[in-house]
Amino acid sequence: MVDTIFIGGRVFTGTADAPVEAAVAVGGRRVLLVGDQETVRASAGPDTEVVDLAGGLLMAGFQDAHVHPAFGGGQMLRCDLSAEHSVEGYLAVIAAYAEAHPDRTWVHGGGWSMDVFPGGTPTRQLLDKVVPDRPALLTNRDGHGAWANTLALRLAGLDRDTPDPVDGRIEREPDGTPQGTLHEGAMTLVSGHVPVATAEEAYAGLLAGQAHLFSMGVTGWQDAMIGAFPGHPDNYDAYLRAAGESTLLARVVGALWWDRERGLEQIPDLVERRRTGQVGRFNATTVKIMQDGVAENFTAAMLEPYLDGCGCATANSGISFVEPGLLREAVHRLDALGFQIHFHALGDRAVREALDALAGARTANGVNDNRHHLAHLQVVHPADIVRFAQVGAAANLQPLWAAHERQMDELTIPFLGRERAALQYPFGDLLRAGARLVAGSDWPVSSPDPLWGAHVAVNRTVPEGEPGEPFLPEQALTLAQALTAYTAGSAWINHLEDVTGTVEAGKYADLVVLDRDPFAGPPEEIGSTRVVRTYVEGRLVHQA
C-alpha cells in the first residue's frame, strides 16, 4: 500500500552527484519506488497522500554525527543565551530569567559566545550586575568554559590561593582573585555545586532537543556525550526511558563518556552500559574520548606552542586530557571489545595522538568494522592527512566553523600564527587523501542546521550577513559532497547505511523536503534553504 507520494520537484538520492528528475512513493515505513512522475502517480491509491514539492528538493534525512540533543534541549528550557550575540543581549536574558524564576537557587544555563567579550573572558562583576543575590553559572557556547558570578565563586570556595586543576585554568584578576571565567576542568570546581536537574527535566530536555533537530531535517544522530555531568543527570537514563516509551523517534547511537579521572578500570563499566544501553532506537555502542580542549582558550593540544599577543611563542601547547600511553592502551582494549571510538581531537597533537592509538590498535587487533572517527579536526598536520585512510578512521567534520568570523579572526588565528592557521579544517585535503567524511554540528555549541553547515563547507563563508573573504577556499567541498557527508556518511558511521542515508527503494522513509533545490541556485544562497517537512519512517514529525 502506498501511503505517500512526493511529486513536483527533484530528488537528491545520494547515489549520484546531482539530483534527478524523479518522484518517490512511500509505504509501510519504507521507500517503495523512485521513478518518473507518471509511474509514481499511477502507484497511488484513493487514500494516498500527495505531497507537491513545488519545485523544492526531496532528499534523505540528515544525520548528525556529533551532537548533544539532551543538553541542547535542556539549555533551551533554562537560561538560554544562544539567540543573542551581545553583552547587552546576554544581560537582558539573564536578568529576565532570574526575575521569572525567583525560586531557583542558582541561575544556570548557557550559550554565550567568547567573541562577544574582550579576550573571550567575561567577568564576575558583569554578571553580578544582573544576578547579585544568588549564585550564577553559565557555560559558553562550546561547553569548554563557564561564566560565574561572585557568589558562585565564593560558594565553591575559590579564591586567589586556589590552584588551577591539571585539566583546566581559572582566569584571574591581577592579584590572583578568580576573574569569573573558568576553562575546561576548572568549571567543575563550581558546577559541582549546581543542583542537578531532575530526571523529568532531563527527559523533557531530550524531547525538546529531538523536536528542534526534526525542525532542521535531522532524523538520526550520534550523541557525543552519554553520561552524568555536574548540574546534569545521566542522559543515558533519559534515552533509555524515551526509547522504552517509544517517544524517541530518531535512531540514535550513544557515545559513552570516557571519564578522564579514571583509567582502564572503567572499561568493564562501559561494557555493562553497552549491554543495557541497547533499547528500541537507542544503541550505546560507542565510547567518546575527549583528548583535548579548544583553541580559543589555549587548551587544544598542539604540536608547537601557542603564540602570545605579540606573536612570540609561549610555554603553553595545550592539554592532552588522556596521557598518550594510557590512550593507546585504552584504544587497544576498546577496539578489541568491539567498541567504536569517537574522539574529540581539535589540535594537531591531539589528532596525531588519536591516530597513533588507532594505528597501534589495528596492528594488535587486525582490521575490523568498528568505524572509529575523529571529530572537529580544526588543525591537522599535513603529514597526518593520509593517515586517516591508512588506519580506517573517518573524519567527523563540523563545517560551520570553517569560516572567517570574530572567534576565528580575533581569538584563534593570532595565537596560532599564519602558517599553522592555514592548516585549519582541511576538508578538501582529507577527501582527496581518501578519508571518509561524516558531518555534524556539535549543537548546542553551534547551530544544528545542516544546510548552514553545507553552505560553509561549499563557500567557506558564513551563511548570514556579509560573506567576506572565503576561509582557505582550496579546502571547500562540492554541495553533493557536503550533503552526502550529512546523510550517507553519517549513516555509515552509525552502522545504518543498509537502511538509511540515501533515497532508494527498500530503505526507511527518513526524508526531508526542502523549500527549494539548492543545486539549482547560486552557491551563496545554499544557507537560505529551509526545511519544509521531515519524515521518520514515513511518519511526518515536522512541518513548517
Mean pLDDT of 81-104: 92
The CATH classification number of 106-192 equals 3.10.310.70
Instruction: State the burial class of residue 434 (Cβ atoms within 10 Å of its Cβ: 0-12, 13-18, 19+).
Output: exposed
Q: Are 85 and 522 in contact (CB under 8 A)?
A: no
Mean pLDDT of 247-275: 97
Q: How many CB atoms lie within 10 A of CB 311?
A: 10
The model's confidence at residue 108, banded by pLDDT at 50, 70 and 90, is confident
Share of the chain above pLDDT 90, in %: 87
Cα separation of 306 and 318, whole Å?
A: 8
pTM of the prediction? 0.90
Q: Are 439 and 402 in contact (CB under 8 A)?
A: no
- Grid coordinates of 321: 586530557
The CATH classification number of 4-61+506-543 equals 2.30.40.10
Q: What is the pLDDT of residue 230?
A: 67
Q: What is the pLDDT of residue 231?
A: 66
- Grid coordinates of 6: 512526493
Q: How many CB atoms lie within 10 A of CB 85?
A: 14
Give the pLDDT confidence of 387-421 residue by residue, as tens digits: 999 999 999 999 999 999 988 999 999 999 999 99
- Grid coordinates of 389: 585512510
Query: Does residue 458 surpass a pLDDT of 80?
Result: yes
Domain 199-494: state its class: alpha beta
Give the pLDDT confidence of 13-55 residue by residue, as tens digits: 999 999 999 999 999 999 999 999 999 999 999 999 999 999 9
Cα separation of 280 and 450, whole Å?
A: 25
Query: Does residue 456 surpass a pLDDT of 70?
Result: yes
Give the pLDDT confidence of 145-170 residue by residue, as tens digits: 899 999 999 999 999 999 999 888 99
**Domain ranges across the chain:** 4-61+506-543, 106-192, 199-494
The model's confidence at residue 181, banded by pLDDT at 50, 70 and 90, is very high
Give the pLDDT confidence of 222-244 residue by residue, as tens digits: 999 999 876 678 999 999 999 99
- If phi over 0 gives left and psi between -120 and 50 gives alpha, with beta otherwise, what is residue 234? beta
Average pLDDT over the chain, rounded to an integer: 95
Query: Does residue 524 surpass a pLDDT of 80?
Result: yes
